[in-house]
C-alpha cells in the first residue's frame, strides 16, 4: 500500500538553510565594516543633525527674501 504524498516527511533541512543565511549575513556585515566605516558613520550622524537645521534655515531665508521683496 502506498503512502499519500502529503503524509510523507519533507526533505527540507532548516538548520542548514538558517546556517547559510547567517553566514551570508555575517559576510555582508564584515564587508560593511571596512576601512571607511567610521567615516561613513560619523557623516551619517552629522547629516542627521544638520538635516533639521537646513530645512529651518531655508524657511528663514525664504521668509527673509519675501520680506526684502515686500520692502523694495
Rounded distance between C-alpha atoms, residue 19 and residue 12, angstroms: 13
Q: How many domains does the chain have?
A: 1
| Residue 33 located in a structural domain | yes
pTM, to two decimals: 0.39
| Residue 27 located in a structural domain | yes
**Residue keyed to cell 534655515:** 57
CA-based torsion, 10, 15, 20, 24: positive or negative: positive
CA-based torsion, 42, 48, 50, 51: positive or negative: positive
Helix (H, G, I), strand (E, B) or coil at 8: coil
| Residue 56 located in a structural domain | yes
Enclosing domain of residue 42: 13-71
The model's pLDDT over 1-17, given as tens digits with 9 standing for 90+, comes to 555 555 555 566 667 78
The model's pLDDT over 19-61, given as tens digits with 9 standing for 90+, comes to 888 999 998 888 888 888 888 889 999 888 888 788 888 999 9
Amino acid at each position: 500500500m502506498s503512502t499519500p504524498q502529503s503524509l510523507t516527511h519533507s526533505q527540507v533541512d532548516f538548520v542548514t538553510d538558517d546556517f547559510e543565511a547567517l553566514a551570508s549575513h555575517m559576510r555582508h556585515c564584515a564587508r560593511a565594516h571596512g576601512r571607511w566605516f567610521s567615516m561613513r558613520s560619523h557623516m551619517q550622524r552629522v547629516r542627521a543633525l544638520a538635516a533639521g537645521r537646513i530645512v529651518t534655515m531655508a524657511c528663514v531665508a525664504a521668509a527673509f527674501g519675501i520680506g526684502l521683496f515686500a520692502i523694495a
